[in-house]
Chain A
Amino acid sequence: MTRDEARERLWELVFGDPSPEDARALEQAAQEDPDLAREVEALREMARAGRELPAPPLPREVRRRILREARRKVRGADASPFWQRWVGWSPVAMAAAATVAVAVVGAHLWQRQQEDLSIRGPEGLPGVAVRPAETAPSPAKPASEDEFAQGAEGTRALSSGAPLPETAGAKTQAPGIPGTPGDATERSPAGGRSGIPDRAVATRDRKARQADHPAAAAVPAAAGRLEDADRFVTSDRLSGGGGALLGASPEGPGERVGGSGGLGRGFAARKASQAPESAAQAVPAAAASREEEASAGIDASRCPARVRELRQQGRPREALAEARTCLQAGLAGEDLLETLDLAARIALDLGRKDEAEEYLRRLRALPGGEDRANRVPSP
């Protein structure tokens, strides 16, 4: 191989694939001639530089798109089940998505539970059963003036921190449900002056003890179910604060069995008694309800306004819940009429015809309520 021939084919040493004989001949020529050796070295530098040319990796997003297309091709456009798309996610993304999903579902369930507890209403919503009046050991009996006075005194005592007066039936067990003191309503033989739901009693008792309140000594801890009581904070707000008076409703006591909430009890008591409202009862009822509201932290005069405001804000569910709370806490006079009217309308808006009819029925039973009820669109 001449020098010129070798020079012409030197590139093959670096970039080509010469036969072993050619390669040997070219290397020998390069060893013998320094110029050729320098050229071979320069070609090798070029090859090295070529291998070091920048080569950015395929972008992740492009890679993801390609794989998505490939999967679509294999499975068909709409054939991929939802979980298979998740599989392609990174573990971090999956964990984040799962956490968000659990949080959302949990928050939703918790909110619904709270709502159910706070608005469990009169129409036999799930978990609320009303024991018929005939199962009650004593017939419904309106509270006497003395009993109201005693109840009011109890409330004042609770508010002021003074010891509560002894009540005759405070420690009695519910006669209608033997052996179930925790589920029974304490009731005085006289007709329910101390008819406080056991959980409310327990909660109140605990709170009083925690505050080192003297009244704690006078309030019986009904069945020691403090854990249950803790779960029904709202119950405490509604019935515990005015505890001594809750059972003193003019309609008389009732019993509630089953379910777990303590909120329907006031209504259950009224419903079980089915005592007709009368003008004679209206005065003590109003007095009792005012005290009850005051102790429960509900301003009766603002009830209709709050309900109306919530309704106008486009929050009918909350408005209805507020109306239920107000009605359960006890209202009287124009506030009661207005609240029942609003509640019926909102229930109708929400498509709850049965509930709306119940409010209308109650509205019609009140003096001056007939006209209002007639103005409400018929369910």
Chain B
Amino acid sequence: MIRRAALPLLLFLVQRFRRSSVDLLRGLSDEDLYRRFAEGEEEAFEVLLNRHGDQVHGYLFRYFGDRELAADLSQEVFMRLVSAAGEFRGDSSFRTFLFRIVRNLCIDHVRSRAARPPVDSLDATTGGDPDGPSLGDRLAGPGPDPSAGTFSGELRKALEAALAQLSPALREVFLLRAVEGLRFPEIAAILGVNENTVRGQMHTAVTRLRRQMGGFSGDPEEDGEQGGSRR
């Protein structure tokens, strides 16, 4: 009996020990964790994945509106992160480094499917399947929407529809700033452009979204197509 219980008990203890080492790592910054992973501490990567996995996946889902594609690209993002562990020098923050990978992957993917019809409207289908769900359907998710019919639910749907009509560059800036909460210098570092350019793109994105959302966003009739730097 004791011998039978010994192996599960041993494995349980080993796992508990491992969990406790993961708990200790949770207090470290992203940069320290990534360095530790580069030095061979695999638990550090688990903590990083716990911190940023959902964020990256959520961003990719909002950007492409495709759950499977978001999952595939998320995996690819973290695979690249694993491969690039030795290249991180700490010049930028880890989040900037991570979203640069995300962005490069998005660009690669958009280029790779450039031959296919672009997904520009809610009614257009995604994934190259003419009978497949539209971007709006995909963004709404598979299950029933508990907020459907409410003002916030309607507003969210209107925003999803408006986002789907934005150009990828403006959508990218809006998502990074308004949804992911990145600061303008970070976004500029990720995109590799001037900070003022980012601000101008954000202004343009907000203006276009307000126009697309119509009655949900105040009085848009006076908004024009003015992008560019405003500061």
A53 pairs with B12, CB closer than 8 A = no
Q: Which listed residue (B75, B158, B210) contacts A66, Cβ 8 A?
A: B75
Closest B residue to A73 by CB, please name it.
B82
A302 at interface, CB cutoff 8 A: no
Taking CB atoms, residues of chain B closer than 8 Å to A75 are: 42
Identify which of A53, A57, A83 gathers the most chain B CB atoms within 10 Å of its CB: A53
A91 pairs with B12, CB closer than 8 A = yes
Interface residues of B in 50-79 (CB under 8 A from A): 53-59, 61-62, 67, 70-71, 74-75, 78-79
B42 pairs with A70, CB closer than 8 A = yes
- In the assembled complex, the CB of B23 is this many whole angstroms from the nearest CB of chain A, namely 15
- Quick one: CB contact mask for A72-94 with B, threshold 8 Å, 1 for yes? 01110000000100110101001
Q: A16-B202, A42-B218 are in contact. Are A66 and B4 (CB under 8 A)?
A: no
A55 at interface, CB cutoff 8 A: yes
Q: Which of these binds chain A: B103-111, B113-121, B177-185?
A: B177-185
- In the assembled complex, the CB of A106 is this many whole angstroms from the nearest CB of chain B, namely 8
A57 pairs with B57, CB closer than 8 A = yes
Taking CB atoms, residues of chain A closer than 8 Å to B24 are: none
B177 pairs with A15, CB closer than 8 A = yes
Closest B residue to A98 by CB, please name it.
B8
Taking CB atoms, residues of chain A closer than 8 Å to B55 are: 55
Q: Which listed residue (B40, B61, B184) contacts A55, Cβ 8 A?
A: B61
Interface residues of B in 166-185 (CB under 8 A from A): 174, 177-179, 183-184
Closest B residue to A39 by CB, please name it.
B218
A45 pairs with B12, CB closer than 8 A = no
Interface size on B, residues (CB 8 A): 66
CA distance A59 to B67 in the complex (A): 10
CA distance A150 to B12 in the complex (A): 65
B190 at interface, CB cutoff 8 A: no
B20 at interface, CB cutoff 8 A: no
What does DSSP make chain B's interface, helix, strand, loop or mixed?
helix
A55 pairs with B199, CB closer than 8 A = no
B45 pairs with A57, CB closer than 8 A = no
A49 at interface, CB cutoff 8 A: yes
CA distance A359 to B218 in the complex (A): 102
Q: Which listed residue (A46, A63, A87) contacts B49, Cβ 8 A?
A: A63
B82 pairs with A70, CB closer than 8 A = yes
Taking CB atoms, residues of chain A closer than 8 Å to B202 are: 11, 15-16
CA distance A91 to B40 in the complex (A): 25
B230 at interface, CB cutoff 8 A: yes
Q: A50-B178, A54-B61 are in contact. Are A65 and B75 (CB under 8 A)?
A: yes
Interface size on A, residues (CB 8 A): 49
- Quick one: CB contact mask for A22-43 with B, threshold 8 Å, 1 for yes? 0000000000000100110111
Taking CB atoms, residues of chain A closer than 8 Å to B177 are: 15
B18 pairs with A52, CB closer than 8 A = no
Closest B residue to A67 by CB, please name it.
B46
B11 pairs with A86, CB closer than 8 A = yes
- In the assembled complex, the CB of B44 is this many whole angstroms from the nearest CB of chain A, namely 9
A102 at interface, CB cutoff 8 A: yes
Q: A53-B62, A56-B67, A62-B75 are in contact. Are A71 and B42 (CB under 8 A)?
A: yes
A47 at interface, CB cutoff 8 A: yes
B15 pairs with A91, CB closer than 8 A = yes
Q: Which listed residue (A50, A55, A67, A101) contacts B57, Cβ 8 A?
A: A55
B191 at interface, CB cutoff 8 A: no
CA distance A66 to B45 in the complex (A): 10
A375 at interface, CB cutoff 8 A: no
Spell out A's residues near B (CB within 8 Å).
7-9, 11, 15-17, 35, 38-39, 41-43, 45-59, 62-63, 65-67, 69-71, 73-75, 83, 86-87, 89, 91, 94-95, 98, 101-102
15 contacts between A and B (CB under 8 A): A11-B202, A17-B183, A38-B218, A41-B218, A46-B216, A50-B179, A51-B178, A52-B147, A57-B53, A58-B54, A59-B57, A70-B45, A70-B82, A73-B82, A73-B85
